Structure 1
Amino acid sequence: KWKGVILYHLLQGTLRFNAIRKRLPNITQRMLTTQLRELERDGFVLRTVYPEVPPKVEYSLTPRGRTLEPVILALKRWGDEHTAFRHDPEICADLKGSPTNS
């Protein structure tokens, strides 16, 4: 649920943990940490720690993560185009009776 959104925000550039968290107000700190660790483990996100007090940590996309840009932007365009779809009461009523959603 969160990885695509995190990657989308990192497309705009390097961010610190709290900057990501501010952009995703509904994510818990624990979930964000878990998702970032998994993205780092899978080679999509680079975590850079600066030896300062307090430690400064930044997250950015790796070259592999950048390869997802067209996919992420296409998903965003699709979501933007279909936002009205999920808020239209007639469409929602039609879907409730749909055989694929029963």
Structure 2
Amino acid sequence: MFSFELAALILLCLLGWFWLDSIKVRELGIQAARNACRREGVQFLDETVSISTLRLARDADGRLRLRRVYDFEFSASGDDRQCGSVMLLGNEVTMLDIGPRRASEFTLH
């Protein structure tokens, strides 16, 4: 019975660690998306990201890390919604995509 209780406690600790780590990494994703939208001059809609992919991947040093991909929405004109994504490997942003813009968003001079 003791080994079952120990295993349950270890599992509970691992779930707690995963939950706290996920909150921290999600905040990094929100900050990266917010900064990219500000840099591109578009509006970051809903001020949040949603997870689309969670899997294991290796970093540049060969260590196994969690790779999370978050989706977010932005608007260039205020009346449209476009999708972007941010990928994090561990606690590091490895890719940020604000996708191609529609031709109507560019101003010709």
TM-score by length of 1: 0.26
Question: Higher relative contact order at CA 8 Å, sep ≥6: structure 1 or structure 2?
Answer: 1
TM-score by length of 2: 0.25
- Between structure 1 and structure 2, the one with the greater Rg is 2
